[in-house]
Amino acid sequence: MKGEHIDISNEAPLGEENIPKGTSKGRRYVGIKFECCSVYQRIYINQSETAYEGQCPRCLKKLRLRIGPGGTDQRIFTAK
């Protein structure tokens, strides 16, 4: 029916220069399996780059992983 379609074919592709500021492209993160609600969530590095901070998307339990000397190469963790 007329008026039920949106033509977005003329939109510019999202290239490096077209990505809106504040998006997570390039932000460092770790994956967390929250056992409290059995869900996976990314948590991102904080602004001062001293820890990864986030929360469970369901029960909102907060999590903070401090970054220490030596660190780890592990990218996925389980929060109990």
- Segment 11-20, tens digit of pLDDT: 445 554 544 5
Q: What mean pLDDT do residues 62-71 have?
A: 92
Which residue would you say has higher pLDDT here, 6 or 66? 66
45, exposed or middle or buried, with CB in 10 Å at 0-12, 13-18, 19+? Answer: middle
Q: What mean pLDDT do residues 1-29 have?
A: 56
| 76 phi and psi angles, rounded to 5 deg | -130, 135
Which residue would you say has higher pLDDT here, 73 or 14? 73
Where exactly are the structural domains of the chain?
A: 27-79
CB-based contact 1:47 (threshold 8 Å): no
